[in-house]
Copies of this chain bind each other. A is one copy, B any other.
Amino acid sequence: MLLHWSPRSPFVRKVMVFAHETGLAERITTTRTPVAMLKPHLDLMAENPLSKIPTLRLEDGSVLYDSYVICEYLDTLQDGPRLIPAEGPARFTELRRHALATGFLDLLILWRNERDRAQPLPALMDAFAVKTQAALAAVEAEIDAVPRGLAQFTLAVLGSYLDFRFADLDWRAGCPRFAAFHAEFEKRPSMQATLVTEG
């Protein structure tokens, strides 16, 4: 399998953490495919017209995206316990928590884009800040109940993304449980193998 990859995309990292946690990382070849909001990647767009990564090409030539779809596919290839529960309340709790973590990342990426503009809209910057505090509080409230699985991995990547792009936020100050979870989880080989680099 070929994964369109870059070292700093949190959504790519989520997929790679999932692959490492499931022992599938060796089956994935990565190709560096930098994407940016301002620069559509024309080669990538032949496989994913939205010009987004991660995008995964399977051995039969078919293509999967987005990061959720790729992780669910990887979950079907592995032999261990499912990391996205197959059904019932456990599945929907997992998916809702994953949507929280993923939507939070989407918000942070938009916030960063706004922050970098010549004239950020003050009301929009304020809205991002308010939602971020609410999302952090929601993560803090339930982090200790999150089992090993896709949502947990995404929350770990989220913590690292906050460190990487929003160090000023000092997110740990109001989130001792999330901070403790993150400190422990980031020691895992899956996180160590996928460290964000400036390179």
Q: Which chain A residues have a beta carbon within 8 Å of chain B's beta carbons?
A: 37-40, 45, 49-52, 62-66, 68-69, 72-73, 76, 87, 89, 92-93, 95-96, 99-100, 103-104, 107, 117, 119, 121, 123-124, 127, 130-131, 134-135, 137-138
Q: Select one of B37, B62, B121 contacting A38, CB under 8 A.
A: B121
Q: Which residues of B contact A138 (CB under 8 A)?
A: 49
Specify how many copies of this chain sit in the oligomer.
2
Kindly list 15 other residue pairs between chains A and B, CB separation below 8 angstroms, not including A39-B123, A50-B104, A65-B99.
A37-B124, A38-B124, A45-B131, A49-B137, A50-B107, A50-B131, A50-B135, A62-B92, A62-B93, A63-B96, A64-B95, A65-B96, A68-B68, A69-B92, A117-B121
Q: Would A37 and B69 be within 8 Å (CB), given that A87-B76, A103-B50 are in contact?
A: no
> In the complex, what distance in Å separates the CA atom of A121 from the CA atom of B118?
10
Please, which residue of chain B has its CB at the minimum distance from the CB of A69? B95
